[in-house]
Amino acid sequence: MKLVFATNNPNKLKEVQALMPQHIQLISLADIGCTEDIPETSPSIEGNAEQKARYIKDHYGYDCFADDTGLEVEALDNAPGVYSARYAGKEKNANANMEKLLMELKDKENRNAQFKTVIALILDDELKTFTGICSGKITTKKRGEGGFGYDPIFLPSGYTETFAELPLSEKNKIGHRGKAIQQLIEDFSNESFNPRKS
């Protein structure tokens, strides 16, 4: 079965495809000719995920799923949250975002944080959402060359390596996006929710 994943992020596409069972083939926005910026104007992570999925369904007619992820830092009243990708500006520069966050936390002892991913799936005009959370802490400096986004400064609970230092297979196992995707996959296997073959 083919399913559109509403993202232009090749790293995210690779990460999610690695989690999918073989019978599900992910199609990117580029594959369906979607080159415009999909609106993300909701004040919540859940709302943005649903907005993106509905946009693809309404404008392109494809069954699809979309995700939105935010990094919520306890000492900053859960900021950057829904603004994580553009925390340091609309350019969505990951290094600038990390530098700003590290500066904001410079004098704070509480570095507790969590990544939250919400996936909105529209299949046969039915909407479902799945949420994955990974708790951890923000480091004092960037560590590791892997991953993307805030991965070099996020230390998941129970680990001594940042997301950027962990192999993708391990990150997928414990990470927020992996947890949400796993719920999605489990839902596909639910007999009462029968995905259309294509």
* pLDDT for res 197: 36
Active site residues: 68
Q: What is the pLDDT of residues 150-163, one digit of tens each?
A: 999 999 999 999 99
* pLDDT for res 147: 86
Cβ count near 62 (within 10 Å): 19
Q: Split the chain (198 residues) into runs of 10 and give each run's mean pLDDT.
A: 88 83 88 92 95 96 94 98 94 95 96 97 93 98 94 98 95 92 85 42
CATH ID of 2-188, from 3.40.50.150, 2.60.120.380, 3.40.50.300, 3.90.950.10? 3.90.950.10
- The answer to whether the CB of 197 falls within 8 A of the CB of 149 is no
* pLDDT for res 195: 43
CA distance 121 to 19: 16
* pLDDT for res 65: 95
* pLDDT for res 196: 42
CA distance 149 to 23: 29
Whole-prediction pTM value?
0.87
